[in-house]
């Protein structure tokens, strides 16, 4: 399983929850904290993120950046 992570621009997140609905892994939730405008921004609540980028695609504010762990290098290369 590919592991991923997200970074939310908390300043522009408006807590619309679209990403929470879009997330197949159910690893997103609204924070208990607020941003400058008073919105509860979204945050990652577990390490089960696969980096599928669904959240970033639906985000109307483009506030989510998705990171994926690089794939492990193939072992066949070591034989040479």
Where along the sequence are the contacts to another protein (CB under 8 A)? Answer: 14, 16, 37-39, 60-61
By beta-carbon proximity to another protein, the closer residue of 60 and 70 is 60
Smallest Cα–Cα separation from 39: which of 14, 10, 20, 8? 14
Min separation Cβ 17 and another protein, Å: 11
- Write down the least CB distance from residue 15 to another protein, Å: 9
Q: Which is nearer to another protein, 3 or 37 (CB)?
A: 37
Nearer to another protein, 39 or 52 (CB): 39
- Provide the minimum distance between the beta carbon of 25 and another protein in the complex, in angstroms, as a whole number: 25
User: For 17-26, b where at least 16 C-beta lie within 10 A, e where not — what string?
Assistant: ebbbebbeee
């Amino acid at each position: 399983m590919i592991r991923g992570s997200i970074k939310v621009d908390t300043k522009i997140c408006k807590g619309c929850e679209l990403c929470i609905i879009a997330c197949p892994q159910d690893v997103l939730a609204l924070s208990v904290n607020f941003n400058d405008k008073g919105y509860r921004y979204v945050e990652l609540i577990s390490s089960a993120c696969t980096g599928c980028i669904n959240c970033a695609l639906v985000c109307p504010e483009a506030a989510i950046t998705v990171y994926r762990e690089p794939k492990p290098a193939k072992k066949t290369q070591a034989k040479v």
